[in-house]
Structures are given as C-alpha cells and as structure tokens.
Chain A
C-alpha cells in the first residue's frame, strides 16, 4: 500500500485541503482517517496529507457549515466522528472546484506546454 516514501510526496498547497476534503465527502460520509486515506489514494499517492492539519481544517469547515459531524461506528467497529457534506458545502465545492481549475489552467499557460516524459 505505502508504495511511495513519505518524503517523496507533494505537500499540499495552502488552501487546497478544504477543497479536497469537500470533494472526498461528495460520495458519502467519512471519518477523518478515511478522508486522509481517500485523498492520498485518489491522488495516486502523490499528495501527503498532514493528519495533524486535517482536523483543524475539518473543524473550520464544520464551523462554516459546509460539513456536519456525528459520532458513529466505523466498519471495524470503532468509534469515529463521521463528516457529511451539507447543501452549503456542495455549493462551496462547485465554486472552489471551478476556481481551482481556472487557476491550474492559468498556471499551465504561464508555464507553457507540458513536456512529454
């Protein structure tokens, strides 16, 4: 599973963690560890999610009303706090996604055409 060494991974850009959390929650509720793992896996192990930074971000989104949380039981019968996207969170996800795509495209223009490996 941990095929890649931790130090090879990319640290997240400032402000992108919120967006990735929202996206991860789009398909249903998850606990914190599940969110971290899902981000790592769906980035094909490129991204390094700092678990310590994950929880303040979750708390921030919860305070904003983008997600709600509830204690529940994980698939391994462990108590965990599960997060779920709210209507407000969905709107935020749509807005932030298009913003990020524009940003990525614009930076791509500046950096020029990608060289093939």
Chain B
C-alpha cells in the first residue's frame, strides 16, 4: 500500500526540464553552439506537453486503481473478521447517530429561532423555592401581572394531561392549562376559530379549549365543524373554540389548551402564595 503522497505534475515537469538541459549540455560538448544544442535537445525529446499529459492521465488512472485495491482490501478484511467489521459499523453508526442527535438538539435550541413573532422578547419566569427552580404560585402570578412594569404581558401555564372522551374512543391528551392571554403573549393566531383571549371567565360558563393541529387532524379528521362543538375533557363538557396552526405546539408537544379558571388559579393553598406548579411565560414590554 502506498502511504506517501503521489508525485505531482510539477515534479515531473522539472524532471523533463532537467533531462533537456543535460542533453543540451552533452550536445554542446559535441561541438554544437548553445542555441543549437538547446533546440536539438528539445526536438529530440519530442512533445513535452504530450508527455506531461500522459503522466497526468496515468496518475489519475492509478488513483482509481488504488481506490479499487483499497476497497477490495477493506472488504476482504471485513469478510475475514466479521466481529471487527460489526464493531466498526456499530462504532460509526453510534458516532454518527450521537452527533446527529446532539446537532438536532443544538439546532432546535440554539440555531433555529422560536417560531413566534418577536421571539427574542419572550422570557420564562420561574421562582426559586427551597433551592430548586420552582414554579410560580398563582397568587404570585396575579401580583406580578399587576405590579411588574418590565413585562408587556404575563401568561401562566401548567402542563396537565387530560382524558378526552366523547363520540370517539377515550384518549390521553397532552394538555396545558393556560391563562386566557396565553396565545396573545406568543402573538400566534389560531388557524380556525378563536383563542381564549376574549374569554369571559365567569363561574358557570362552560370551559373552552383550543386544539392543536395534529389532534384536530387525528381525532376530528380536520373537520371545520368542530368549532363550537362540545367534547368531554376529564368527563366534563368543554367547548372547542379554536384550532392552532401546525407549528404551534408549545409547551412540549401540547395537544390541547384549556383556559384556567379563576377559581383554579386561586384555589387552595395558593392563596398563601405557596407554589402550586405553574410556569409563566411573559413578554417584556418594548423599549
């Protein structure tokens, strides 16, 4: 096997020049004048360009022949020691797979912008509780929203799986309980119907939900008639008020967004500002 670099065309050309010079010198010794000798030596060599072309062609053919030999050799080694071959293939596969996976994460997290308008102005707010990144108590949320002046608006959400019932077979959906302004903080428009923005959160009203595009396609066959229909969520009738476009699935791969009720926000111990598991998303006000 050849491990060293193959000879370059420049080296070959230099050798031809050296040949012609030596030949001319010999002819001079035989009595020719310098000019005659140089001309005769060149004539005797023949077509310099053609020789160089032949050299170049040959190097290229050799390169292909070497490649073929290397491949045959590699295949032979693999056939003789299958365990080695498997190890190599698995190592390469894991290496490439891991690299691709890490890049996919880095791409989504660092390179691609968030699919929201003015994404650079969106921030997530957490409270630190007993040393950990805790979530926000609902009463804190209300206080922040009222008092914090740096944020344009403040929305809260909590991921909460639901049981979907109704005409179709029951199904567990990745649900999110959100404050009614959740969608307007992100600045996203529904594909169909409306979001929860205009929701009047009065006791006794039916709860309202927004479907993700994929849930709408999968469970309701993409029917436009779903708007205003009642579906059973955790056994409770809920009115579908809108469908989001395919690229909006925040947080995670959310499928269903439900309006948080006022009493849910302020229920139980959260009135004492203790943490009850709500993350908030807020938008900084401009300027």
Q: Give me the interface of A with B, judged by CB distance under 8 Å.
A: 1-2, 31-34, 37, 50-53, 55-56, 59-60, 63, 74, 76, 78-81
* CB contact under 8 A between A51 and B44, given known A33-B23, A63-B62: yes
Contact (Cβ within 8 A) A33 B58? no
A31 and B19 contacting across the interface, CB-CB below 8 Å: yes
A78 near B18: Cβ-Cβ < 8 Å: yes
B199 at the interface (CB under 8 A from A): no
Contact across chains for A76 and B25 when beta carbons are under 8 A apart: yes
Sample of 15 more A-B contacts, CB < 8 Å, known A59-B12, A76-B22, A78-B18: A33-B22, A50-B46, A51-B44, A51-B45, A52-B45, A55-B19, A56-B54, A56-B55, A56-B58, A59-B58, A60-B58, A63-B62, A76-B25, A81-B14, A81-B18
CB neighbours (8 Å) of B21 from chain A are 78
User: What residues on B are CB-neighbors of A51 within 8 Å?
Assistant: 19, 23, 44-46
- Total contacts A-B at CB 8 Å: 60
Bound Cα distance from A56 to B58, whole angstroms: 8
Within 8 A of A (CB), among B38-58: 44-48, 50-51, 54-55, 58
10 smallest CB-CB distances across A and B, nearest first, come from A52-B46, A33-B22, A51-B45, A81-B15, A52-B51, A33-B19, A80-B18, A32-B19, A56-B54, A33-B23
Question: Is B229's CB within 8 Å of the partner chain A?
Answer: no
**Cβ contacts under 8 Å, B232 to chain A:** none
Instruction: List B contacts of A59 (CB < 8 A).
Output: 7, 12, 55, 58
Chain B residues with Cβ under 8 A from A81's Cβ? 14-15, 18
B18, B48, B58: the one contacting A31 at CB < 8 Å is B18
- Cα separation A58 to B19 with both chains bound (whole Å): 13
Enumerate 13 A-B pairs (CB-CB under 8 Å) in ascending A order.
A32-B18, A33-B19, A37-B26, A52-B46, A52-B47, A55-B12, A55-B19, A56-B51, A56-B54, A59-B7, A59-B58, A78-B22, A80-B22
- In Å, the complex CA distance between A2 and B26 comes to 11
